[in-house]
Chain A
Amino acid sequence: MTAAAQVGIGVGRVRRWIRRRQRAAAPGSDRFETIYTLVLLVAMVGYAVWAQLQSILSGQTAASAGTREGVLLAAGLGWTAALLAAAAALGPVSTSAPALQWLFTTHLDRRALLAPAGAQVVGIGLLAGLSQGLLTLTLSTAGAGAVLLAALGGGVLSVGATVGVQAASRRPARVLSRWATVLVLAAATVAVGSAAGLPVGAVAYTGPWGWPLLAAHHTWVAALVGAGALGVPIFIWYRLRALTLANLTDAAQSSGAATAVFVTLDPGLASRAAEDRRWRGRRFGPDRLPRLTGRFVATGQDALLLARSPVRLLLAAALATVPVLATGLPVSRWVIAGVWLLSGVAAAASSTANARRDRDDRALARLLGLTDAQLFTGRVTVPVVVCTVWCTVALLAVGATATSGGLGMWALLGACAGPGLAAGALRSARRRQVRHDIAPVVSPAGTLPTGLFMWVFGGVDLAVLGLWPALFAIVSQQPQAALANQVLFSAGTLTGMIVNARRG
Chain B
Amino acid sequence: MLEVDGLKVGYGDRVVIEELTLTVEGGEGVALRGPNGIGKSTVLRCVAGLLAPMDGAIRVDGERVDERSAAFRRAVAALLDSPAWYPGLSAREHLSLVRLANGPIDDGWFAEGELSERLGVDGFADASPSSLSSGQQQRLALAMVLDRPSRLLLLDEPERHLDQDGRALVAALVGEYLGRGGAALLASHDPTVTEGCAVVELGYDWYDETAEA
Contact = CB atoms under 8 A, between A and B. Distances in A.
Nearest to B51: A246
Q: Is the interface of A mostly helix, strand, loop or mixed?
A: helix
A223 B188 CA distance: 61
A178 B111 CA distance: 51
Interface in B89-105: 89-90, 93-94, 97-98, 100-104
Interface in A1-55: 1-2, 4-9, 13-14, 17-18, 21-23, 25-26
Interface in B114-146: 144
Given A249-B50, A283-B12, A22 B73 contact: no
A246 B50 CA distance: 5
A242 B69 CA distance: 10
A22 B71 CA distance: 30
Which of B50, B76, B90: most chain A CB closer than 10 A? B50
Interface in B148-204: 148
Interface string A138-182: 000000000000000000000000000000001000000000000
Contacts, number: 104
B78 interface: yes
Contacts of B26: none
Contact of B101 (A7, A106, A242, A244): A106
A98 B85 contact: yes
A107 B71 contact: yes
A283 B13 contact: yes
Contacts of B76: 105
Determine the interface band of chain A, counting residues with CB < 8 A from chain B: 35 or more
A106 B199 CA distance: 29
B83 interface: yes
B112 interface: no
Contacts of B102: 8, 106-107
A281 B12 CA distance: 7
Contact of A14 (B75, B88, B101): B101
Interface in A292-349: none
Nearest to A25: B88
Nearest to A7: B104
A18 B50 contact: no
A21 B84 contact: no
Contact of B104 (A8, A14, A100): A8
A21 B148 CA distance: 20
B64 interface: no
Which of A14, A26, A170: most chain B CB closer than 10 A? A14
B103 A105 contact: no
Nearest to B80: A101
A384 B151 CA distance: 61
Contact of A244 (B14, B68, B86, B93): B68
Interface in A187-212: none
Contacts of B109: none
A103 B101 contact: yes
B71 A1 contact: yes
Nearest to B14: A283
Closest 4 pairs (CB-CB, A-B)? A22-B88, A97-B84, A5-B70, A107-B74
13 contacts: A1-B61, A5-B70, A5-B71, A13-B100, A23-B88, A25-B88, A100-B84, A102-B84, A242-B68, A246-B50, A246-B51, A281-B11, A283-B12
Given A22-B86, A25-B90, A241-B68, 17 more contacts: A1-B71, A2-B70, A2-B71, A5-B71, A8-B103, A14-B97, A17-B100, A25-B88, A98-B86, A102-B94, A106-B148, A108-B70, A245-B49, A246-B50, A249-B50, A282-B12, A283-B12
